[in-house]
């Protein structure tokens, strides 16, 4: 409540981290700070981690036991075990469809949207449901809110099914990044993206360290990835406790550091051009307080600006937390008036927090590895998009934003179902006596449920709700699909 208490704690943290870096610098072989035109900080690239030796054997064992598994069967198994499709209810109060019929149609609609093949193509499969039936179900039951709740239930079921002996304790960090999807030019949401080189939209993912997606959002190419990162961290909705967020350079900024500090989670970026980064000082009148860092230091933080606008900073952060204002709207309001005193206070707070992070990041090699591993998870997630979302060359063939969002959420559900079933498959294999004690520390580090060599997303679509995958792990409770 007291601005002085807030700035005092932040200043002490800055002093501690800068002093730790100053004292450790002479003994850090990967770091040099010298006066150079290209930037004072010289950070050596990370060495390659030891290669896991047994993960290929493990994935081969999965293929040998279950063969090539159709993707529709994996989604069906996940739905029957978790009951996630119960979240997709009719937009009106009256429901006349039998539950077993409704679930079959919902699975087919999710598969049609999530693979981007479309309802017409899926209706031609071996399942006994016509195109008109599926379109009716899509209009009446497959809603954005219901799909989000289904995805949250699937993520929570995965967290509950994990064996902590194999996967470790529950994670508290996520990695986030965007993926570019081409879209029809007729959509007002479609924009040109200079980095990806094409027209389309972005899907911004939040994926936790063990490869389960916890949030997805559709944003325009001009939208701020910093705002998308904050929104996802606030609205992910699953049972995990989020304490940190890995991002690449596009997902961080000084404003981003300020907002995440106020919202009480760590922003952990992989920063490009860190050689030119500047460290702000915590105190005035101490130009030589950190002699080893002097060439990388700049002016002190203006603590008085933060204290004078502290109430407004908390007000904006609370608006983001409770959802009365979006992060994108707040950032847009500030950038239209960069001289706004609250914006200046936000910048000063962000510079202080960014200095704390950089000082810790430069001296902590384990933190550098941790961020790199987290971002590798999100890159793997993005690669699976091309495998699953294969229809129509991976292009959103609609100019309606709500349909694009449904396609995104269906893809979210399909990939989450893949991770859920893979988790149970791996636990079944590793429970066998022959696999006891086989995995090394490197194998445990690289173990992931996000692999797809044994998955068949293409071919004829055959739906059989009575055909189950033989899995002993997880909840095998049979759901009552006969009731209306």
Does 385 reside within a domain? no
Does 410 reside within a domain? yes
What is the reported pLDDT for 96?
74
* Residue 308: CB atoms within 10 Å: 15
Does 76 reside within a domain? yes
Distances (CA, A) of 450 to 34, 79, 124, 376, 472: 42, 18, 29, 12, 20
CA distance 276 to 37: 9
Sign of CA dihedral 73, 76, 80, 82: positive
463 and 128 Cβ atoms separated by less than 8 Å? no
What is the reported pLDDT for 170?
82
304 and 298 Cβ atoms separated by less than 8 Å? no
**CA angle at residue 187 from 184 to 191, to 5 degrees?**
80
What is the reported pLDDT for 315?
95
Query: What residues have CB less than 8 Å from 129, skipping those under 6 apart?
Result: 104, 105, 108, 123
Buried b (16+ CB within 10 A) or exposed e, 452-462: bebbebeeebe
End-to-end CA distance of the chain: 54
Does 436 reside within a domain? yes
What is the reported pLDDT for 477?
46
295 and 37 Cβ atoms separated by less than 8 Å? no
CA distance 130 to 205: 33
Place of tokens 């300020």: 258
CA distance 390 to 35: 51
Does 71 reside within a domain? yes
Does 311 reside within a domain? no
Q: What is the DSSP string of 299-313?
A: EEP-HHHHHHTHHHH
Query: What residues have CB less than 8 Å from 430, skipping those under 6 apart?
Result: 58, 166, 439
CA distance 120 to 122: 6
205: alpha, beta or left? (left if phi > 0; alpha if psi -120 to 50): beta
Query: What residues have CB less than 8 Å from 110, skipping those under 6 apart?
Result: 75, 142, 147, 410, 413, 414
Domain enclosing residue 152, as ranges: 55-157+401-456
Does 106 reside within a domain? yes
The pairing of beta strand 279-281 with beta strand 266-269: unpaired
Which of 390, 438, 441, 432 has the alpha carbon at shortest distance from 411? 390
Tell me how many domains the chain contains: 1
Distances (CA, A) of 482 to 80, 88, 99, 369, 479: 13, 17, 6, 51, 9
461 and 125 Cβ atoms separated by less than 8 Å? yes
What is the reported pLDDT for 476?
46
Query: What residues have CB less than 8 Å from 170, skipping those under 6 apart?
Result: 159, 162, 164, 240, 241
Query: What residues have CB less than 8 Å from 74, skipping those under 6 apart?
Result: 417, 418, 421, 455, 469
What is the reported pLDDT for 221?
86
Tokens of 82: 């978790």
Does 387 reside within a domain? no
Q: For the chain, give me the number of helices (H) and strands (E)?
A: 17, 12
pLDDT along the chain (484 residues), means of 10: 94 96 95 91 90 92 94 95 93 80 95 94 91 94 95 96 90 92 79 80 93 94 90 92 92 93 94 90 85 93 96 94 89 78 94 96 95 93 92 88 94 96 96 91 92 91 88 56 48
Distances (CA, A) of 315 to 10, 263, 267, 325: 19, 11, 20, 11
What is the reported pLDDT for 482?
52
């Amino acid at each position: 409540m007291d601005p002085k208490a807030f700035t005092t704690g932040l200043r002490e943290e800055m002093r501690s981290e800068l002093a730790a870096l100053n004292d450790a610098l002479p003994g850090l072989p990967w770091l040099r700070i010298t006066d150079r035109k290209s930037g004072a900080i010289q950070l050596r690239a990370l060495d390659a981690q030891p290669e896991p030796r047994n993960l290929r054997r493990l994935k081969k064992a999965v293929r040998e036991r279950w063969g090539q598994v159709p993707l529709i069967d994996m989604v069906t198994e996940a739905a029957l075990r978790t009951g996630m499709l119960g979240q997709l209810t009719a937009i009106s109060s009256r429901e006349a469809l039998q539950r077993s019929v409704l679930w079959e149609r919902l699975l087919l609609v999710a598969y049609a949207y999530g693979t981007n093949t479309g309802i017409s193509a899926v209706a031609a499969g071996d399942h006994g449901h016509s195109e008109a039936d599926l379109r009716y179900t899509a209009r009446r039951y497959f809603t954005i809110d219901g799909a989000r709740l289904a995805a949250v239930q699937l993520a929570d079921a995965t967290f509950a099914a994990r064996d902590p002996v194999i996967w470790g304790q529950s994670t508290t960090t996520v990695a986030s990044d965007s993926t570019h999807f081409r879209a029809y030019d007729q959509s007002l949401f479609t924009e040109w993206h200079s980095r990806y080189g094409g027209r389309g939209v972005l899907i911004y993912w939040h994926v936790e360290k063990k490869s389960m997606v916890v949030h997805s959002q559709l944003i325009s190419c001009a939208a701020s990835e910093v705002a998308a990162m904050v929104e996802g961290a606030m609205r992910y909705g699953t049972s995990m406790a989020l304490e940190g967020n890995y991002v690449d350079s596009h997902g961080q900024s000084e404003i981003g550091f300020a907002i995440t500090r106020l919202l009480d989670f760590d922003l952990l970026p992989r920063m490009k051009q860190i050689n030119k980064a500047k460290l702000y000082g915590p105190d005035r009148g101490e130009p030589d307080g950190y002699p080893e860092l002097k060439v990388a230091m700049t002016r002190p933080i203006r603590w008085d600006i933060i204290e004078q606008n502290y109430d407004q900073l908390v007000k904006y952060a609370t608006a983001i937390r409770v959802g009365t204002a979006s992060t994108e709207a707040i950032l847009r309001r500030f950038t239209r008036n960069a001289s706004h005193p609250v914006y200046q206070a936000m910048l000063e707070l962000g510079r202080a927090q960014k200095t704390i992070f950089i000082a810790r990041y430069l001296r902590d090699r384990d933190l550098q590895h941790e961020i790199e591993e987290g971002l590798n998870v999100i890159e793997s997630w993005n690669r699976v998009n091309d495998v699953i979302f294969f229809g129509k060359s991976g292009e959103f063939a609609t100019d309606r934003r709500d349909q694009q969002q449904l396609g995104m959420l269906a893809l979210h559900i399909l990939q989450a179902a893949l991770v859920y079933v893979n988790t149970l498959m791996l636990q079944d294999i590793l429970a066998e006596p022959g696999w006891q004690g086989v995995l090394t520390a490197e194998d445990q580090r690289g173990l992931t449920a996000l692999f797809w060599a044994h998955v068949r997303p293409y071919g004829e679509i055959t739906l059989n709700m009575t055909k189950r995958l033989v899995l002993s792990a997880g909840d095998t409770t049979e759901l009552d699909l006969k009731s209306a």
